[in-house]
Amino acid sequence: MTDFNNILHQVNKPARYTGGEWNSIVKDWDKTFIKFVLSYPDVYEIGMSNMAVPILYEILNNQPDILAERVYAPWGDMEAALTAAGIPLFSLESKHPLTDFDVIGFSLGYELTYTNVLNMLNLAKIPVLAVERNDSHPLVIAGGSCTLNPEPMTDFIDFFVIGDGEEVLLELIAVIRDWKHMGERAPKKELFNQVATIPGVYVPSLYQAEYATDGSFKSLKSIATQKKAVIQRRIVSKLPHPVTKPVVPYIETVHDRGAIEIQRGCSRGCRFCQAGIIYRPVRERSQAEVVQAVGELINNCGYNEVSLVSLSTSDYFSINELITTLAQDYHEHHLSLSLPSLRIDSFSIKLMETLPSRRKTGLTFAPEAGSDRLRCSINKNTTENELLQTAAVAFERGWLNLKLYFMLGLPTETIEDVEGIVTLVDKIQLLGRQTRGKRPQLRISLSTFVPKPHTPFQWAAQEKEEQLNAKHELITHRLRQKGTKPSWQNPKVSLLEAALSRGDRRLGKVIYHAWKLGSTFDGWSEHHNYQNWLRAFEITGLDPSYYAQRERPLDEPLPWAHIETGISQIFLKQEYQRALESISTTDCRTQSCNTCGLERWQLGCQQR
């Protein structure tokens, strides 16, 4: 593409757009029946660190009559260059414009990327509103964790894939294949009716939202005969073989290493954590499969650092044996292992000690709250004594750099809980001085609680900015005197995230107007324009606080209730009540079944 080559010199990091990376797949365009472009609505460096896209890329390209290519959100300089040159947004592999593809599949993992979806469609010269697209335009579909409440994006997406995509994607492609074989005789409306019968596929145009006279959400009803009232999340019972030949980027990415998903799901039941709900039940890969996969990843990509990925990596069965085996088997490759998401206990420290690595990195833990009572309320079952014992072991074994994650604004939080964060940091600092003779380096990350759909806290209110700022100032003032400066996310960003997370279909107009006002890359501080969003809410007559900062009655209809995760509303309400009473719930992998609802699907957690 001559025009493409002429604009590369105008942009920073042109390797974001060149393609041609090691292990990328370029098929014969003219000889491949179905063309699918996997679209990640953020920059290349973030999108290339996502684990879902490589899985789908491999599954699709393994089909002889399908080609799958990639596209990421262009940064501002590239957007300006494309617009000035009149070049539509194109794929990395073949440089074909997105309008040439049959399907554009977006991965939605973060609410503040929504405006990027609209922007990418617009740059591709495709109408952003689904109702304005005709039979000549590509299908626009979406999957990912955000689709567990798809309603805010229904104005823009033809249909959503809910849950694990490994099996349902091929079922969906089979229907699209048959429809495409029919040629011009088959309009999209007929295809929509067909895909709506696939379990786990939600076609929003076949449903209509109703609102009460006071403006509250009332119900979502099917406007087509024999359509599902509830969309059941797809769950693969056994994880497929991990991707061991992923595309290797030419530039540094956020997670610049190989990655193997060793297990999917988490049974610990933190009540604020949406991932802990929507990825249940726990499914582990065998140790032999992980060991083999790491070897294949090294041989195919040349990585000497591999991350063993899980929501709670130290919960993997015999994780210590796995690390020992990997260290022995790949010693000659100088393999370095990283373990994200470790639980807070001395076992995790000892586990880190066994890692094959050339340097001692910092440790990251997430106490989340400043008191035992509040940790019990959110079901983060770690006591202060356990936290201090873990820190002591870390200092004794030579770690002096710790990063601690806390949340502010959690349900039932009091000022004593907030002060408890400072007290806990004080005690950890004292332990470091007593053990190592000098002050440890502590980094404190403070985030705002965001109530998420399908969690026990989906009914809870997000705290208002004034109260959050007061708590932040208290912590910052107290910790600044002790040489520890906490980082802090802007509460306005968290408010927007909560509103989009718990929104109904009316939020689509807000997203549209925010984009028209110039909002893109809303998750990037240098791009975020809160005033655009306030104006968009004002134009549509909606209020972000209505969605984010309002406690919802337990009997109020929820805009996402038609999405069935497998976790029952009875269980979530029980957990919410237990949170208000500061009663913890045990881990069903080590204790008895908590009857969360998955037992109805015969998908209970893997007990030990």
Question: What confidence tens digit (pLDDT) does each residue in 559-574 have?
Answer: 999 999 999 999 999 9
Average pLDDT over residues 190-215: 94
Ranking 361-365, 456-460, 535-539 by mean pLDDT, the lowest is: 361-365
Ranking 55-64, 192-201, 349-358, 467-476 by mean pLDDT, the lowest is: 349-358
Q: Which amino acid is at 600?
A: R
220's enclosing H/E stretch is strand 217-222
Calpha distance 532→384 (Å, rounded): 43
- Cis omega before residue 281 (within 30°)? yes
Calpha distance 191→195 (Å, rounded): 6
Strand partners, 306: 258, 337
Average pLDDT over residues 437-453: 91
Ranking 142-151, 182-191, 227-236, 541-550 by mean pLDDT, the lowest is: 182-191
Digit-coded pLDDT (tens) for 260-308: 999 999 999 999 999 999 999 999 999 999 999 999 999 999 998 999 9
Cα first-last separation, the chain? 57
Digit-coded pLDDT (tens) for 134-178: 999 999 999 999 999 999 999 999 999 999 999 999 999 999 999
451's enclosing H/E stretch is none
Which residues neighbour 111 within 8 Å (Cβ) at sequence distance 6 or greater? 146, 152, 496, 497, 500, 501
What's the Cα-to-Cα distance from 110 to each of 196, 452, 496, rounded to whole Å?
25, 12, 12
From the number of C-beta atoms within 10 Å of its C-beta (0-12, 13-18, 19+), residue 525 rates as exposed
Task: Take residue 430 and report the two structure tokens written for it.
Answer: 């004292």
Q: Is the pLDDT of residue 606 over 60?
A: no
Strand-pair category, 217-222 with 207-211: antiparallel
**pLDDT number for residue 608:** 56
Average pLDDT over residues 554-558: 96
Homologous superfamily, domain 2-229: Cobalamin-binding domain (3.40.50.280)
Contact 270, 375 (CB under 8 A): no
Average pLDDT over residues 382-387: 92
The SS3 call for residue 210 is strand
Average pLDDT over residues 124-133: 98
Secondary structure, 3-state, 271-317? CCCCHHHHCCCCEECCHHHHHHHHHHHHHHHCCCEEEEECCCHHHCC
Q: Is the pLDDT of residue 604 over 70?
A: no
Residues of the chain with CATH 3.40.50.280: 2-229
Task: Take residue 230 and report the two structure tokens written for it.
Answer: 């509830």
Q: Is the pLDDT of residue 4 over 90?
A: no
Q: Is the pLDDT of residue 374 over 90?
A: yes
Average pLDDT over residues 400-415: 94
Contact 337, 319 (CB under 8 A): no
Which residues neighbour 47 within 8 Å (Cβ) at sequence distance 6 or greater? 40, 53, 70, 72, 73, 107
Q: Is the pLDDT of residue 78 over 90?
A: yes
**Token pair 């404190």 is at which residue?**
444
- φ, ψ for residue 460, nearest 5 deg: -75, 155
Q: At what angle do helices 415-436 and 384-396 cross, to 10 degrees?
A: 30
Of the candidates 149, 91, 102, 142, which has an alpha carbon nearest to the alpha carbon of residue 118?
A: 142
Q: Is the pLDDT of residue 361 over 70?
A: no
Average pLDDT over residues 105-124: 98
Global pTM value = 0.95
Calpha distance 94→258 (Å, rounded): 25
The 10 Å Cβ neighbour count of residue 554 is: 11
With vertex at residue 105, the alpha carbon angle to CA 25 and CA 47, rounded to the nearest 5 degrees, is 65
The 10 Å Cβ neighbour count of residue 182 is: 11
Which residues neighbour 337 within 8 Å (Cβ) at sequence distance 6 or greater? 305, 306, 307, 308, 323, 326, 327, 355, 356, 357
**pLDDT number for residue 605:** 57
Return the half-sphere exposure (C-beta side, CA atoms, 13 A cut-off) of residue 455: 25
**pLDDT number for residue 470:** 96
Of the candidates 603, 607, 567, 573, which has an alpha carbon nearest to the alpha carbon of residue 588?
A: 607
Q: Is the pLDDT of residue 256 over 90?
A: no
**pLDDT number for residue 185:** 58
Average pLDDT over residues 476-488: 81
Calpha distance 536→138 (Å, rounded): 28
The 10 Å Cβ neighbour count of residue 301 is: 18
Which residues neighbour 241 within 8 Å (Cβ) at sequence distance 6 or greater? 289, 293
Calpha distance 524→73 (Å, rounded): 13
Task: Take residue 484 and report the two structure tokens written for it.
Answer: 């520890």
Of the candidates 457, 458, 453, 429, which has an alpha carbon nearest to the alpha carbon of residue 441?
A: 429
What's the Cα-to-Cα distance from 541 to each of 1, 211, 515, 544, rounded to whole Å?
45, 15, 17, 10
* pLDDT classification of 183: cutoffs 50, 70, 90: confident
Residues of the chain with CATH 3.20.20.70: 258-489+566-580
Task: Take residue 18 and report the two structure tokens written for it.
Answer: 């060149």
The 10 Å Cβ neighbour count of residue 225 is: 7
Q: Tell me the pLDDT of the chain averaged across its residues.
A: 92
Residue 265, sorted as left (phi over 0), alpha (psi -120 to 50) or beta, turns out to be left
Task: Take residue 533 and report the two structure tokens written for it.
Answer: 């969003």
The highest-confidence range among 7-11, 220-224, 228-232, 368-372, by mean pLDDT, is 368-372
* pLDDT classification of 483: cutoffs 50, 70, 90: low
Q: Which fold has domain 258-489+566-580?
A: TIM Barrel (3.20.20)
One-character DSSP codes across 380-416: ----HHHHHHHHHHHHHTT--EEEEEEEES-TT--HH
Question: What is the layout of strands, in order, in the sheet containing 305-309?
Answer: 258-261, 305-309, 336-338
Which residues neighbour 591 within 8 Å (Cβ) at sequence distance 6 or greater? none
Contact 454, 560 (CB under 8 A): yes
Calpha distance 36→47 (Å, rounded): 17
**pLDDT number for residue 5:** 78
